[in-house]
Chains A and B, each alone.
Chain A
């Protein structure tokens, strides 16, 4: 997340987003973890993950730790896909 300007100060929008969190309903961390594998596979398949798992995107916007877990699982599956396609 590029949330700092050239001087290193955090950007206004980033500070507000982190302080105030997402708008609307969101999952909790336990629900997020339970749905993470399905959500990532749907995301990679382009199969409307947010329609299938409502509240997930909002939680990922609000929870830095769960957002990192999402990015990690997505990156791992992408790296496996690249490996399979190379072979």
Chain B
């Protein structure tokens, strides 16, 4: 079989829609186009039944007791916005402090920054070298004013899986709400809001082979009953928490994607972890001074993040981008021109943050692709090192840290 190029290996950014998902969605664009809130005719009933079914499929994936606890949104970013801003507003009387981590994703960071401007205090708990947040550190950060802990389930860059169940337990003990951004985790690894003490959970369809444009916020209804202020006012859809017509085809796709993920999770996770390990070994056995970022075991099965000392990430991507789609923590690949704050937060040298490459495997990744990507990555890194002054100096025994760099 010939390899089809370019190879997509950026599955923490998005995933392709599974053909089974698309098939489930299609009728809801044309013949089954009703509005799920139209209560008085069959078109509405049909749409409502489809949305209810999707809600149940998503609820099952995350272990929610009641499908009504699933609120459809436009995606992960909206879910995070709704969870954090909605809780901050609703519980303003109770307190004004939120605890999160230094490596939570951009949406959480940006929402927190806005909330800070509105008088909410935020603590960004640091993480260890492996990307893990310590539950004790979270406990220490809490004050009598704390209303919410928000910790991502698994990191989008390094794949590190946080001790979510322990954090949930802590939150319960302290009587504080717990939100987790499970955008990367849901559908990939077991997520159980009941067993893990999760009160609010954000997820998105397009990272689990569903369509872009739909996500969900799980909002606990019992023990405790969580209330959040809506951000969008209107027809009172989604139990008043998120007005706006539910995009039925997208919701149906989300539900189907969740069902497929749940049914195949164990097998798929095992297969992808084996492929990922193969890629990791291919690269680390052939490149010196290449470092795995994140926790070696507690990580997503389909994620691999490696920093290559002495070469800059974007230049690695450029050498590969006709053949392989990857992502880098390099400043040059970000809109802000800052290197990855996630890799930086691990306490690794900042030049290694510029050198990080993320490999994201997915349902359709093959062993052949893995071998190709591994081989080409090694070639490109070696080529770039041949033209790297830092590599040359390091080989000459120059201590790069002892030099006084004339920065721009």
Do A and B come together as binding partners? no
